[in-house]
Amino acid sequence: MDISDLTARFGLLAVGLVAFAAILLALYGLAELASRRDRSRVVATVFLAPAVIFLLVGLVYPAVRTVVMSVFNGDGTEFVGFDNYAWAVTNPDALRTIVNTALWIIVVPLVSTAIGLVYAVLIDGRRGERTYKALVFLPMGISFVGASIIWKFVYQYTASGEQIGLLNQVRTWFGADPVNWLNTAILNNFLLMVVLVWIEVGFATVVLSAALKGVPTEIIEAARIDGARPAQIFWNVTVPSIRSAIIVVAVTVFIATLKLFDIVRAMTGGHHGTDVLAHNMWDQAFRLGNDGRGATMAVLLFLLVIPVVIYQVRNMRRQELEAR
């Protein structure tokens, strides 16, 4: 790396930071002026302006544009109606993508929450609970790309000679033939899901474990004295007590799963029948240069989160009413 590369980058950083500081100062100055005259509307505007402008220009307007683009052809020159949508539900590859996404959003939240819950219950109050938690939590600090590389080595396959991938090595130790995991259709989807589950279980464990601490020990004690078995206590006392935390975890993982791009990109590139909406959207628009189809995939993705948005907003309004 040349020294000029370095100065160019850090120079840009310095300029950027100075510019940002200047913007902040100007905003505070404006707010101060407005405050002195007791114009709280103006103060609110100044405080909100940067965020609102960013969100309007960078998220709201583009989202609307994307919806419009989805009814145009690949380079946006010709109106095609719902052709792109028809393509999405008839083309075998596109259909495969939709089916895979459906699989992902069912399996990953369910499995992550279940493992996280079981693990949180198992380590609750155990000696070394913190260490147990930290070990499982660790993958949350690793990028999806990093995790994909980690697991790609676990799944690695060599046709002849010694196996380098742990999974195939274990198979050959038991006398079975090695498998080219990532090329084996349908199964490879689940192997990719393992990577996301591996990351999300830490999140589930931490949130659910905190919720478990809030369950009064008297209830569990009472159930135990009444002769309830551990499994009964788990299903009839523990799970209902932390129900809302479980839902929150499942919903959060659901959204993360829906937006998942990195793992598919880094592990299979969407080949061998492993494509999902969030990745196919990118592939269509930026690799194959078909903005119309890419936009259509993005809109389908958005349609899938709308129920979550409605649920969340209703939830929040209810909480606000209760708080009043």
Partner 1 sequence: MSTETQAPEQRAIGESRGDRIRRVLTSRVASIVALLIAVLWTVPTAGLFISSLRPEDDIRASGWWTVFTNPTFTLDTYNYVLYSDSQGGGLIRNLVNTVVITIPGVIVPVAFAAMAAYALSWINFRGRNFLYIAIFALQVVPLQMALIPLLSFFSQGLHIGDVTIMPSWELEGVNTIVQVWIAHSIFGLPLAIFLLHNFMRELPGDVMEAARIDGASHSQIFRKVVLPLVTPAIASIAIFQFLWVWNDFLVGRTFGGGEATRPLTAVLGDMAGTWGFGWTRLPAAAFIAIIVPLVVFLLLQRYFVRGLLAGSVKG
Under 8 Å between Cβ of 203 and 139: no
List alpha helices for 138-259, DSSP H.
144-154, 166-173, 187-213, 217-225, 230-233, 239-241, 243-258
Question: Which residue's CB is nearer to partner 1, number 57 or number 86?
Answer: 57
The distance from CA 200 to its chain's CA centroid, rounded to whole angstroms, is: 9
Question: Which residue's CB is nearer to partner 1, number 141 or number 175?
Answer: 141
- Show Cβ contacts of residue 277 under 8 Å, excluding neighbours closer than 6 positions: 97, 98, 101, 258, 297, 300, 301, 304
- Max distance between CA atoms of the chain, in angstroms, equals 82
- Show Cβ contacts of residue 245 under 8 Å, excluding neighbours closer than 6 positions: 207, 208, 210, 211
Question: What would the two tokens of residue 24 be?
Answer: 């902040």
Question: Which residue's CB is nearer to partner 1, number 40 or number 91?
Answer: 40
Question: What would the two tokens of residue 176 be?
Answer: 């079975």
Question: Which residue's CB is nearer to partner 1, number 185 or number 210?
Answer: 210
Least distance from partner 1 to the Cβ atom of residue 20, Å: 6
Least distance from partner 1 to the Cβ atom of residue 96, Å: 18
CA distances from 273 to 185, 197, 261 (A): 6, 20, 15
CA–CA gap between residue 179 and residue 309 (Å, rounded): 41
Question: Which residue's CB is nearer to partner 1, number 57 or number 95?
Answer: 57
Least distance from partner 1 to the Cβ atom of residue 39, Å: 10
Amino acid at 152: K
Least distance from partner 1 to the Cβ atom of residue 290, Å: 10
Write b or e for each residue in 116-153: b if 16 or more Cβ atoms lie within 10 A of its Cβ, otherwise e.
bbebbbebbeeeeeeebbeebbebeeeebeebbeebbe
Least distance from partner 1 to the Cβ atom of residue 185, Å: 18
Least distance from partner 1 to the Cβ atom of residue 167, Å: 10
Burial of 36 (0-12, 13-18, 19+ CB in 10 A): exposed
Least distance from partner 1 to the Cβ atom of residue 156, Å: 9
Question: Which residue's CB is nearer to partner 1, number 196 or number 201?
Answer: 201
Least distance from partner 1 to the Cβ atom of residue 210, Å: 6
CA–CA gap between residue 156 and residue 29 (Å, rounded): 59
